[in-house]
Chains A and B, each alone.
Chain A
Amino acid sequence: MIKRRGWKKFGVCLLVVVFCGMGQAWAQEVLKLGVIAPLSGTGAGWGLALRAGAELASDDTNAKGGLEVDGKKFKISVIPYDDKYQGQAAADAANRLIFMDKVKFIIGPMGSAAGLAAQEITEANKVLFVGNSFTTKFLGAKKLYSFRTTMTMAEFSLPMLKYLKEKYPDAKRMAILGPNDETGYEVTGFNLKAHQAVGHEIVFRDYFERGTVDFMPILNKIFALKPDVLNLDGSNPGDCGLIVKQARQMGYKGMIIKVGGPGTPEMLKVAGKDFMEGFIYYSPINPDDPKIQEINKKYNAKFPPPMNGFTPQFYDGTLWLFEAIKKAGTLTDTEKVRATLESLSFNGVYTGAMSWTGKADYGIDHQVKFPFYVMVVKDGKEVVLGKATP
């Protein structure tokens, strides 16, 4: 008897669910933009940067009256969902965006697992997926609707290390330390190859478990091998800050570099400017550029500081997508938008000349490339050391 009652309750619940689902209005004048990113837990820093970039780009477009497509103006509505940097949550988010919110364009995600899992659904449903998933497997000849608008180590490690080799020819012994997760693994592979290509000697290469806060044992091991340079790889900004601080506390005087994603302001907060002196890293944008101050202000008005370097990148990536939609003249024919996006180069507001590449590495030209900056921290400030082109 209980079970029958139990199932009746289930039926009622289901009916309620269906009615709720049907309650969503479909406004003609709105373009829904989905965002899948880690909004909680590890990676939330980068996830927020992604979401902020998409939202700020949408806000600016809306401020100009909306996106003009085929004669009509559309207001952009951003729908962000948390993927917790995990595959399953990303897949669920994709499911919800595509089938419940009826979205055809998604910005995101950040993580590799998240990207790969969600991709199964976006590709099958011809939904454009424009993001950052930091794994080579995200792009492929058969993955027609996935694009990456950030550069990964595959694109910038070689040019960056070439630049460093020229500038610091005596720095030969390399120690590479990365996180023990999908991003860490992928990234180290490229760094390794690039180091070897420019003639560096790899004296150490290992991973640390996510959640580690005490790096002294592993740093101890590293410093015993007397490296000239410590490369922090794909570690997230919080961990990097700790590593730098602890390494300097242990008396390490060599170079510390990060051939990986941005996060220097966060690192400065943790390690302090004395320890961060001389830290060299990759930056897709020039932080001194007055335009960056502008977006920084807009960012701080809406989100908790500090702004991560990924935000301007996603801003530009989102605008690029909008441009493609506009040029294709359709919101519903994703095939057309895809083809248009592929053929379009774009001058990013903050990122400069963005164009597609990647056929050699991935089998399809869906990877962005643009000239970037090699930066150094001097007296607590981010200073451009040099510029490089992939």
Chain B
Amino acid sequence: MGTTGPDPMQEEGKVIPKSKSYALLALSVFLFFIPVLWADEFYLNVIISIYLNIILAVSLNMVIKTGKLSIAHAAFMGIGGYTSALTVMRLGLPYLLALPLSGLMGACIALLVGRLLLKLQGVYFVLVTFAFGEVVRLFFVNLVEPFGGPTGIINIPPPRIALFPGTAFTLLSKVSYYYLVLGVMLMALFIIRRIYQSSIGKAMDCTRETEHLAEFTGIDTFQHKMFAFAGGGFFAGLAGSLFAHYYRFISPESFTFWESVNLIVINVVGGMGGIAGPILGSIFLVPLPEFLRGFVEYQRVLYGLILILTLWFMPTGMLGLLNKALDRMKSRKPGKEGTP
């Protein structure tokens, strides 16, 4: 990326230390109570959408962290979605197997193509992922067997979870689905946060910022890129499965280039410096269409504007803004323990 001006990826210096983990835990517990506080189906639907996007946006963030901007993320989501629907409907797999399988499928295909694609740099990588995403979509559109072609797959059954033999329950209500998605999202965030905090995370940063230097110090940058790409594919696959069984219907329309672009916008607007960025981005951007329902045409205009203005005025995204605000507040209180 650029050498002048604030680097959008430089914000992660403020990663949350372990002592604050308890605050996060408390927050997670709070999230468990949301359906109790607001049982409204409409809001639950919006929140579930937000959670799904968070999983996707944060996993994309992982790929971006190694310096690779991928416009194929929605394709991996699609791969996961179709895998999940087909294994449950055709092979009769229980959902608890289908879900991780979707993730694995995403990861495997990412590994397979990543081997070739990740060799490309900068803008060329972006372009090749664009082409790859389209190829995947065209596969879904043109193969009626087994993907259903343009019609996609309908009547996907809701997840039937059997934790212990003999106790099976079906996730029919939004509330139950909320918990499923919440669980997967928290797991994803937990794992990815740990990765970011570990030496792998640091290595990923080095790979992005100064690749040659990183190689010099013995970091296998290619391995890290593969790891990030596969990880991205894995979580995107999971999200795809959740998506498929929630809407109970998937078609190639849901996994286009524009969906991938949405995820990039979420990262850019939210800030790419850390996990909080895509989370903020999702919370802000995903419900936006709901609030602009009366003005459908202007919705997308606003969207484009937001993207442009963000890159112009706040290239570090919402996360960057937040950090700046916090810095200013800290600097007004000298002597107080400032380092986050």
- In the complex, are there CB atoms of A and B closer than 8 Å? yes
A1→B42 contact, CB < 8 A: no
A88→B296 contact, CB < 8 A: no
B296→A1 contact, CB < 8 A: no
Instruction: Give Cα distance in the complex from A81 to B296, angstroms.
Output: 8
A180 neighbours in B (Cβ, 8 Å): 141-142, 149-150
A269 contacts B by Cβ under 8 Å: no
B249→A116 contact, CB < 8 A: yes
A251 contacts B by Cβ under 8 Å: no
A306 contacts B by Cβ under 8 Å: no
Closest partner residue, chain A, to B44 (CB atom): A99
Binary A-proximity of B297-330 (CB < 8 A = 1, otherwise 0): 1000000000000000000000100110010000
A113→B279 contact, CB < 8 A: no
Instruction: Give Cα distance in the complex from A222 to B17, angstroms.
Output: 67
B249→A117 contact, CB < 8 A: yes
Binds A, one of B19-27, B58-66, B109-117, B163-171: B19-27
Binary B-proximity of A112-139 (CB < 8 A = 1, otherwise 0): 1100110010000000000000010100
The contact of B40 among A40, A81, A99, A181, by CB within 8 Å, is A99
Instruction: Give Cα distance in the complex from A95 to B248, angstroms.
Output: 14
The contact of A17 among B43, B249, B250, by CB within 8 Å, is B43
B276→A6 contact, CB < 8 A: yes
Chain A nearest CB, measured from B276 CB (Å): 5
The contact of A137 among B45, B154, B291, B326, by CB within 8 Å, is B154
A98 neighbours in B (Cβ, 8 Å): 41-42
Task: Label chain B's interface by main secondary structure.
Answer: helix
B154 neighbours in A (Cβ, 8 Å): 116, 137
Footprint of B on A, CB under 8 Å?
1-7, 9-10, 13-14, 17-18, 20-21, 39-40, 81-82, 86-88, 91-92, 95-96, 98-100, 112-113, 116-117, 120, 135, 137, 180-182, 184-186, 209
A-B contact pairs, 27 of them (CB 8 A): A1-B20, A2-B14, A2-B276, A2-B319, A2-B326, A3-B23, A4-B27, A6-B279, A9-B280, A17-B287, A21-B42, A40-B296, A82-B296, A87-B249, A87-B250, A88-B253, A92-B289, A95-B45, A99-B42, A113-B249, A117-B248, A117-B249, A180-B141, A182-B150, A185-B144, A185-B150, A209-B141
Q: A13-B283, A180-B141 are in contact. List 9 more A-B contacts (CB 8 A).
A: A3-B20, A5-B322, A39-B296, A87-B251, A92-B290, A95-B42, A113-B253, A180-B150, A185-B149
Footprint of A on B, CB under 8 Å?
14, 16, 20, 23-24, 27, 38, 40-43, 45, 49, 141-142, 144, 149-152, 154, 247-251, 253-254, 274, 276, 279-280, 283, 287, 289-291, 293, 296-297, 319, 322-323, 326, 340
